[in-house]
Chains A and B, each alone.
Chain A
């Protein structure tokens, strides 16, 4: 059974600082997703990573995928308050069942 682990679960950062959220998964996959969720809202798609070495960037967020290490990172550069949210990674196993399995999420709070 596919397991997806995120760390840290909670992250409090000062504005202007850099930090990284980690997503580890337990079985072979080359499809990984990052989502953002604001309180009381639905999930907003940030990135879809489809191959080893894939890197995508949008504003202050950059995501990468290392399929050999079964690891994805979400890097935040020069954090601003608007980035405060919960971030989820999710993975589809390569073994044919098409289930999208989520990590438990990282609650990010940016402090002025």
Chain B
């Protein structure tokens, strides 16, 4: 997927462990978002950012933290993993203005919490 890199692709955590999912982009786009995808529920927005230094909560923010210190990176932190956070996580990147409005997705991170 064009210019959006997510790591890791797979991760297994024990309940209570912490970890950071990484998202990096090389398109210099302003908007970055994190979604989780669960069976039958589509993609639900966790957190999003409209630029460096600016973040806001989405639909399901509890249990997750984010920061946006640079335009390129938007890491998602799980402070104390719970089985309910087992999911596939996608990072999305989108630009401003009608010419850059297409949203690009990373390859996803499949997280299992046991």
Contact = CB atoms under 8 A, between A and B. Distances in A.
Given A48-B102, A98-B50, A103 B94 contact: no
A98 B31 contact: yes
Main DSSP-derived SS at the A contact region: strand
Most buried by A among B44, B90, B94, B103: B103
Interface residues of B, number: 26
B51 to A, nearest CB: 10
A56 to B, nearest CB: 12
A42 B105 contact: yes
Interface string B91-114: 010100010011111111000000
B90 A31 contact: no
A43 B90 contact: yes
Contacts of A50: 98, 101
A43 B42 contact: no
Given A103-B42, A104-B40, A104-B41, A97 B56 contact: yes
A17 to B, nearest CB: 25
A45 B45 contact: no
Residue in A31, A97, A98 with the greatest tally of chain B CB atoms within 10 Å: A98
B102 A105 contact: no
B33 interface: yes
A33 interface: yes
Interface string B45-62: 100101000001010000
Interface residues of A, number: 20
Interface of B: 1, 31, 33, 35, 40-45, 48, 50, 56, 58, 90, 92, 94, 98, 101-108
29 contacts: A31-B101, A33-B102, A33-B103, A41-B108, A42-B1, A43-B90, A43-B105, A45-B104, A48-B101, A48-B102, A88-B42, A88-B43, A90-B43, A97-B56, A98-B48, A98-B50, A99-B33, A99-B45, A99-B48, A100-B45, A100-B92, A100-B94, A100-B103, A102-B35, A102-B42, A102-B44, A104-B40, A104-B41, A105-B42
